[in-house]
Structure 1
């Protein structure tokens, strides 16, 4: 056995994506100075949970964390996939944080992946599970991922601070992805959405829908927002409500925006405010806010919304050695970080060309030619 050489990185930013790319490119990484100067140094609960999740779906992966959690050694293994896996994501980040790396890794696993994730399904930080179902999965299909076996079932909902939600994710395996030329945004032809409420009155949902429709119906007639009121065990452990909206274009693009309202997690409350006194944002305002946010995303242009830029670039980079060309709106900070990580791990650079007439950006680049070597060839 030769000595393992580790790629040395610093800091806590984009840890999730670094681990994902390290696993896909089989690059052992050593990350130092993880929040070394903060009051609470080291890895956060959700980051440790992500490492445990990687251990579950990979064979022979090694994780070493020092006592303070400021230094992490990660040696990737073989992505195995598998059925009937269960992972508790905890309540410090929502399930959305774990879904993106899982979706991508699952495609390159040895066996199809089916995993039950427990925790928070909707919060205001990460994309909600509804957005994954309505927007993220169709993006994967663009890259040649079969619809059969690609599924996300929401069994119960959970909002912060106590979670209690459960989803089941199924990801099929692929030999390789297909490169895309995806620059046509099309025109928005319809808007779909879903509101949810847990442990509060179902009337809140009608108020959110009414407010959102009030904005959209001036622009287009085809607006359908469904309700998903959960009660009993399916309603998780905390009260909350929220809305997830998707605009579908004539060219088959899905642009989404979502949020949820709930009582703050204990670590998010500053010493000056008392949680009991803090009023939650009224449902009518939420409906209007997210409808406006969606219009803002549509206005920016591009074939995906700003939250999906990172995933889009990643999928382009994992394609065969063929040119992919995509159009996005203004580059989001996460999108830019993704491009840096792709350069560092896969050695790929995209040509970025602003399109002045539409205010969008066109990215063009070769894929890294990643193939699923562990998959049995039938």
Structure 2
């Protein structure tokens, strides 16, 4: 059973906005399957299975939830029940696509959420007699601007993950494996207020040069630069994501100098994040600092990604993205530098765009943090 993360009025407003945005986009209806969009709109969590669950939002009709009867109690324990939404339940042997078609009604343009798999999209399109469109632009716009309640949850998540980073020196030391350190960190993520651990990256020495390294049985050595990138979901389902770079013992002077440049690059991007700036301008602010120091080629990825009920969502802070930032957008700022076979470093905070700048939700020390050697 689930308990709605927010009051029913929050979900009602989200549904109303999604309906209005669908109408603005010229869609007669949108069909939302299990995944982050369904969690955002009505608090129903879980992944798609072979039995169809779908929320149908009509531009001019009340929302309807189509759900297998065996999932009915779970769905009714969410905002679906609190809002008394129409529910069409079904059992094996019945055709759920006919129920969706009835909820959609007469339509010429229907969108589907991007998490809905071909397993369901193809029979839905056949039953409706339409080529279905992605509802991503509508749903992205709904989720991209965070309200005060969501920002409060992201702040809560940021404070919790900061507490974990402050404890990393308890576990990170020479002679331990990355996997051992990661296990301690994962336990602390839950202890410090998260309900789930979404990821733990401990990249020591040359492993830190792989931005998506997770953990291994490599034994951490004196002098290693170590990337620790961690995050999880707090009880409401909103996520944390923060990276700090540590050094075991005394850092190499050249590495320390380069990481100091990285800290400046991250700060430059934070300073550039404000309403009216573009996502690409924030990316360029970090990238230019690194390029000026001769480190541009070592920056291998975008500067950031949006965050909310998904760890990665819109907006993406990347070269070429001319999306104009607006108050309420929340995203990471995480430039990194990577030297194959040697080491890597990354500094990451979540920020929220405010009326005249941005609020940094992670405040654990950004500088290269020394931990005890052997």
Q: TM exceeds 0.5?
A: no
Calculate the TM-score normalised by the size of structure 2. 0.26
Instruction: Give the TM-score of the pair, scaled to structure 1.
Output: 0.26
**Higher normalized helix content (fraction of residues):** 2
Computing the radius of gyration from Cα coordinates, the structure with the larger value is 2
